[in-house]
Amino acid sequence: MERIETDLLIVGAGSGGLSVAAGAVQMGTRVVLVERGEMGGDCLNYGCVPSKALIRSAKAAHAMRHADQYGIASVAPQVDYAAVKDHVKGVIASIAPHDSQERFEGMGVRVIRESARFVSGDEMEAGAHRIKARRIVLATGSGPFVPPIEGLSEVPYLTNETLWDLRELPRHLIVIGGGPIGMEMAQAHRRLGSEVTVLEGGTALSKDDPELSAIALDAVRGEGVRIVEGAQAARVSGTAGALTVETDDGQRFEGSHILVAVGRRANTDGLDLDVAGIETTKTGIKVDDALRTTNRKVYAIGDAAGGLQFTHVAGYHAGIVVRSAVLGLPAKAKTDHLPWATYLDPELAHVGLTEAQARERHGESAIEIARFDYEGNDRAQADRLTDGRVKVVIRKGKPVGASIVGHQAGEQISLWAFAIASGAKMRDVSSMVAPYPTYGELHKRAAGAYFSPKLFDSAAVKRVVRLVQRVLP
């Protein structure tokens, strides 16, 4: 057994762990990083990167089918699903060097490719190594939650970990779960040529503002994806290629493949958290707002901490931990300025409070709403991508939340993320000049929609203007 003493031990080389490692080592901390699987974690290997690469292929197929709207003959795309998967693997391979063991060792990080578990409050074992650390960061991520659906374990089913190895296009994909994973993969597979049915126990995309998610869901339905809400999968039967899912109200759905996308489970098994006095909650490792666990020397970040589960949130958490564990400065994780996007077409993005959350937190009358539809944006008209809306939730003249559905919503939401993070006012957004014709103008127009009734429907403004006009030379 090799004994190692270090300043910082990080478990998990995914989005969160790698960011902590890079920040800490470059500031002079001695860092040991333990990873039991692929460097890069879920995002690179089984999550964001492969899903967005697959969505890109699906977009190409969709564009070929609908080129006629731009005066170019539409064609039925010849989809080679195996080649699409090669493209997906190629994208992963092109990003992998950035997250690689070699790169991190080059920075001075000691990388150990083993599974880590606690042996005391400040020591972990990983293979033939016993590592004692002044601070430990658990960045162990999450895996697909596989629900106890009767018969599921007896049939072949896909998850976000196995989907990327499938080489034949599913004839009919049944997606269990209408969250972001389920909906992104449903639309992508429909565009690549599969028949697709989504079974959602509650409401699809329920974490987003329903006014905006309805627009995205209508578009996805319009492309032929069958989305059945209130359909809780209860039983599964059949054999490979001929599977049946029965819902708890007795409806039966037949398909060739099943994708299980009903949420995530934090990776805590095998860490022996109890040995180190670390408690868990229903969703992950229990942390305070400085991301410290119930063991003061141990932090938990990213998906393992059970809050918002996104790569950029893991990266944000990493910054908090570097500040606290490396620089010894106070640092608190907030959530009100953290955006997310779901990469449907049209995209759906959000930051801050939804309308319902804002009204509940601040009272009905304290909240104002401004909207601007893509139809009024000339670039969206030129692109014929007019299906969309910007909706801003405002309190005392400041944006406290924003949602966008439409082309590039994921890119566009950054403006509101910046506005909310920096405490900007609606006045600041309205004074911005965006180049014409761009989607960026949407935001100025949304801010304009907030001020228009105040300016144009006000008797006081009209009185002042009449007075000014009388005295102007």
Ligand X SMILES: NC(=O)c1ccc[n+]([C@@H]2O[C@H](COP(=O)([O-])OP(=O)(O)OC[C@H]3O[C@@H](n4cnc5c(N)ncnc54)[C@H](O)[C@@H]3O)[C@@H](O)[C@H]2O)c1
Nearest to 330 by CA among 277, 285, 292: 292
Q: Which is nearer to ligand X, 91 or 275 (CB)?
A: 91
Q: For residue 144, is the peptide bond before it cis, meaning its omega torsion is within 30 degrees of 0?
A: no
Question: Which residue among 104, 299, 316, 340 contacts ligand X (CB under 6 A)?
Answer: 340
Contact residue for ligand X among 280, 309, 408, 412 (CB under 6 A): 309
| 258 burial level (CB within 10 Å; 0-12, 13-18, 19+) | buried
Helices 180-192, 48-65: inter-axial angle, 10-degree rounding: 40
Which residue's CB is nearer to ligand FAD, number 74 or number 414?
414
Query: What token pair was written down for 230?
Result: 């209130």
Count Cβ atoms below 10 Å from residue 242 Cβ, excluding itself: 13
Q: How far apart are the C-alpha atoms of 398 and 401, rounded to whole Å? A: 9
Copy the structure tokens of residue 404: 């966008």
Binding status of residue 15 toward ligand FAD by CB under 6 A: yes
Kind and range of the H or E element at 468?
A: helix 459-471
Query: Sheet holding 252-255: strands in order across?
Result: 233-239, 242-247, 252-255
> Per-residue x/- marks for ligand X, 214-243, CB under 6 A?
------------------xx----------
Site stretch for ligand FAD (CB under 6 A), options 23-31, 43-51, 95-103, 284-292: 43-51
**Which residue in 381, 392, 384, 385 sits closest to 436, CA to CA?**
381
Token pair in block for residue 448: 């304009």
- List the interface residues with ligand X, window 106-165 (CB under 6 A): 147, 149
Residue 377 interaction partner, one of ligand FAD, ligand X, none, beta carbon < 5-8 Å per kind = none
Chosen residue from 310, 372, 416, 450 binding ligand FAD by CB under 6 A:
310
Q: Judge whether 441 is annotated as a binding position.
A: no
Residue 296 in tokens: 């003061």
Residues 6+ apart with CB under 8 A from 364: none
Segment contacting ligand FAD by CB under 6 A, of 168-176, 228-236, 267-275, 423-431? 267-275
What are the strands, taking DSSP E only, across 96-184?
110-112, 116-120, 123-126, 129-138, 142-144, 172-176
β-bridge pairing 264-266 and 142-144: antiparallel
- Decide: is 33 part of the binding site for ligand FAD (CB under 6 A): no
Judged by beta carbon, residue 17 or residue 388, the one nearer ligand FAD is 17
Q: Does 37 bind ligand X (CB under 6 A)?
A: no
Binding mask 121-160 for ligand FAD (x = CB under 6 A): ------------------xxx------------------x
Annotated binding residues for FAD, written as ranges, equal 52, 140-142, 303
Binding site for ligand X (CB under 6 A): 147, 149, 176-182, 184, 199-202, 206, 232-233, 261-264, 309-310, 340-343
Annotated binding residues, written as ranges, equal 52, 140-142, 177-184, 200, 263, 303
Binding site for ligand FAD (CB under 6 A): 11-17, 34-37, 41-43, 46-48, 51-52, 115-116, 139-141, 160, 181, 267, 270-271, 302-304, 309-312, 314, 343
